[in-house]
A = this chain, B = another copy of it.
């Protein structure tokens, strides 16, 4: 597991995402101030998607309407500058909360299913690698 590469890729993903958010911000502004241009940008964004990356999108936009491209770049710079320093902490909390929810749903489903004698009782917290052993061997290992 290459943590440095995953961090770099995460930063790139977030930069792409902020570009997408910048397009949304500009779209919202145009809806108020210049509805025809808002429609034009919507159409453009439906044709040139973000699938090939936000830089590709911006390069196409630069050729079609340089003013809007520069405006989106300015907004994404503003968003990136104002990302809270505690974003990593927010992500940690979200993942831990999501893991807790997944476990909760899993155990709730277990307790709602009629248990046969071959099903391990959900309150027994065996290490993960023991779960896949047949009950006899699991009991041996636990002893």
Residues of A within 8 A of B (CB): 1, 3, 6-15, 17-19, 21, 25, 28, 54-55, 58-59, 62, 66-67, 69-71, 73-85, 87-88, 90-92, 94-96, 98-99, 101-103, 105-106, 128, 131-132
Q: Is the CB of B7 within 8 A of A83?
A: yes
Q: Is the CB of A11 within 8 A of B91?
A: yes
Q: Is the CB of A7 within 8 A of B84?
A: yes
Q: Is the CB of A85 within 8 A of B88?
A: yes
Copies of the chain in the assembly = 2
- B15, B58, B75, B81: which contacts A94 (Cβ < 8 A)? B15
- B11, B71, B95: which contacts A18 (Cβ < 8 A)? B95
The dominant DSSP class at the A interface is helix
Q: Nearest residue in B to A74 (C-beta to C-beta)? A: B128
Q: Is the CB of A81 within 8 A of B92?
A: yes
Q: Is the CB of A80 within 8 A of B92?
A: yes
**A96-B77 in contact given A14-B10, A131-B66 (Cβ < 8 Å):** yes
- B10, B69, B99: which contacts A17 (Cβ < 8 A)? B10
